[in-house]
Amino acid sequence: MRLPWISLFFYLFAASDSALVSIPLLASDDAPVVTGDLLSFSIGPDRWLDWAGNTSRNEFFYNALNNLVKFTGTSPSIRIGALGGDPVNYNPNLEFVQNVYGEPSVIIPYPEPSSMVVGLGYYQAAQFLPAGTKVTWGVNLVDRNLTAVYLESKAIIEAFASPAFKEANITLDFLEVGNEPDLYVFHGYRSADYNFSVYLEEWTTLASNVTKAADLAGSKTRFWGGVFAGPAWTNLTGFTAANLLDSGILTSEPGSFITAISQHLYSGLDFSGNISVLNQLMSKATIRSNLTAFVPDIKATRAKGLDYVLGETNSYAVHGAANVSNAAGAALWALDYTLSASQIGISKLFFEGGIGYKYNLLQPVTLTRSILDGIPLATPLPPHIQPTYYAAIVLAEAIGDSGNTQAVELAIEDDSITGYAFYEQSALKRALFINLLPYLSTQTTPRASTHLNLSFSGSAHSPASFSVKRLTIGYADDTRGVTFGGQTYETVDALVSGSPTDETGLVSQGIDIAATEAVFIAFN
C-alpha cells in the first residue's frame, strides 16, 4: 500500500515547528568521499574467537556484517585490538587462547583479561569474516619483548598468507604496535617518568622487529601510527598525532611503513546509569565539539598525505554507560557522529565492542550476566542486535554500492536536527535527516515534530518526489523495538524480518521528522 499522503498529514496536523533545508543538486569536487566501511568494528581481543568463531564461523556475527555488505558491496573493516590485547603473548604450542580474568563488578560486568596467551588458531579465525574484509591487528608494546613481538607478528602474517584467506580476499590491512601508550602510566604499565620521547624509542625498536617478521614472510607491512587515547583522556603531554609526525618518525625504517594515523575518542565517562546522560550524548553541539578537538591532528596527518581514522570509538568509555549506550537514542548519536566525522577528514570509525559491553552494536554470543550490573540472569540472553546496530544499517543504505559516494552535511538552523546529502558521480541521489531531540519514556508531553521544507540549489534537474524509510524509535531510552523502513533486525539470526513500508512524498510538500527519529529519502 502506498502512502503518499503521510507527509501532508503530518504537515497539517502534527508538525509543531519547521525548518528550511536547501540541498545542492551537485556535489563539489572536494566533497568528502564516504566508503562502505566508514562505520567499521573494533573487537576486544580477549573474546575475539567468540565473535568470529574458532573451528567454524559465528553465524550471527557473520550475518550482521553481511547485512551491511548487501547494501554497500563492502565488508566493514575489522580491528582486533584495545586494552585487553596489548599485553598478549604468542605460544606456538597453544591452539587458540588462554585468558585470565578478574571478578565481574557492577561497573564492569564483563572485565578484560589480566593476561592473555594465544596460538595460531586465534589468528586463523579471521578467515570466518565476510569475503573482502580488511583487518587491522594490534601487537604487544607493553612488555617490550622483542622476541614476543617478532613471534606474534610472524604468526599473524602467516595466518593471512594461508589459502583460505587468499581465496576469500581477507587481507591484513594494518598492524598497530601498542594501544594507547599515553595511558600506560595510568594503567601501571610504566613508571611516572614515562614520556613521549621514551615511547618513540620503544615503538621504533619494537616495530623494527615487526618489519623483520614481515620481510621473512615476504609480506608488506603497513602500520597505524599513534593509536593514542586522544586529547580528552591523555595523562601525559606530547601524545598527539601532530607531535608524532613532527618527531621525524616517518623517516625511520619502520616509520616509513606508517600510512595512517589512528586516535581514539569516547564521548565521556559515566557510571551513574541515569538516562538523563542520554541528553548529553544526543546533543548536536556536543557531537561536533568532541570531534573538532581532533582537527589539528587530522590536518597535520592529511598534510603528510596519510589517512586518518578513529581506530577505537564509541559512546562512553569503559564499556559504555548503562541505560545510555545500550539505548535506542544512541543509534541516532552514532548516525550523526559518524557522518559528522566524515566531514572533517576522518575516513573510518571503528566502533569498539566486546562480549557483554553496554555499547556493543550487537551481542554475538549468549550472555549469562546482565550488561548493566553484572547480576546473573535467570534466563541466559541469546545473541541479539542492540539499537546502535541500526546506525550501521542506515549508513550502509545511504552510502550505497557505487564505490565513490560523496556525503555533504546540510545547513539546518535547528539545534537538534542534522541532515546529509549523498551523491554519486556528483549527482544528488539520497538524503538523511536526523532529529536528535530526545523523546524519553518519562515525558508526558506530546512528541514534538518538525516539518522540513525542502528546496534545491544548482542548475541540474530537480527531483519532484522521493521514497521514504524511517528509523522508528518508541522512546530514546528504549533498548529494543527499533525498526527501519518497517523492518527489524532484532531476530534470532540477525537477518532482516518484516514487510518494508512503502511511503512516498513530494518535494513541494516537504517531510516531517519526529523527535528521536531519522528519515532516509531516495530521490526519484
Q: Locate cell 530537480: which residue? A: 462
Residues 447 and 390 in one domain: no
Q: What is the 3 state secondary structure string of 421-455?
A: EEEECCEEEEEEEEECCCCCCCCCCCCCEEEEEEE
What would the DSSP string read from start to end of 82-126? SGGGTT-EE-TT-SSEEEEE----SS-SSPPEEEEEE-HHHHHGG
Q: Decide which of 368, 399, 430 is a domain's last residue.
A: 399
CB distance 255 to 211 below 8 Å: no
Stated as kind and residue range, the H or E segment containing 39 is strand 39-43
CATH number at residue 133: 3.20.20.80
* Longest CA pairwise span in the chain (Å): 71
Cα distance between residue 26 and residue 460, in whole Å? 7
Q: 3-state class of 415 per DSSP?
A: coil
- Residue 201 placed within a domain: no
Residues 179 and 56 in one domain: yes
Q: Which amino acid is at 449?
A: S
Q: Taking Cα atoms as reference points, which of 258, 86, 65, 82 lies closest to residue 174?
A: 258
For the beta carbon of residue 141, count every other beta carbon within 10 angstroms. Answer: 25
User: What's the pLDDT score for residue 13?
Assistant: 37
User: What's the pLDDT score for residue 114?
Assistant: 87
Residues 288 and 416 in one domain: no
- Residue 458 placed within a domain: yes
The domain in which residue 333 lies consists of: 35-191+220-399
Residues 179 and 81 in one domain: yes
Please count the structural domains in the chain. Answer: 2
User: What's the pLDDT score for residue 86?
Assistant: 77
Residues 345 and 367 in one domain: yes
Q: Decide which of 349, 377, 399 is a domain's last residue.
A: 399
Helices 389-399 & 329-342 angle (0-180, nearest 10): 40
- Residue 497 placed within a domain: yes
Residues 25 and 61 in one domain: no
Tens digit of pLDDT for each residue in 97-134?
Answer: 999 998 999 999 999 998 899 999 999 999 999 999 99
- Residue 203 placed within a domain: no
Residues 298 and 330 in one domain: yes
Residues 139 and 256 in one domain: yes
- Residue 319 placed within a domain: yes
Residues 155 and 104 in one domain: yes
Residues 340 and 255 in one domain: yes
Residue count (the chain): 524
- Residue 212 placed within a domain: no
- What stretches in the chain show pLDDT beneath 50? 1-15, 232
Q: Where are the beta strands (DSSP E) in 344-476?
A: 348-353, 362-363, 367-369, 376-381, 384-385, 405-410, 417-424, 427-435, 449-457, 465-472
What percentage of the chain reaches a pLDDT higher than 90? 89
Residues 417 and 358 in one domain: no
CATH number at residue 512: 2.60.40.1180
Residues 491 and 422 in one domain: yes
Q: Decide which of 350, 382, 399 is a domain's last residue.
A: 399
- Residue 200 placed within a domain: no
- Residue 155 placed within a domain: yes
Tens digit of pLDDT for each residue in 438-460?
Answer: 999 999 999 999 999 999 999 88
User: What's the pLDDT score for residue 437?
Assistant: 98
CB distance 12 to 49 below 8 Å: no
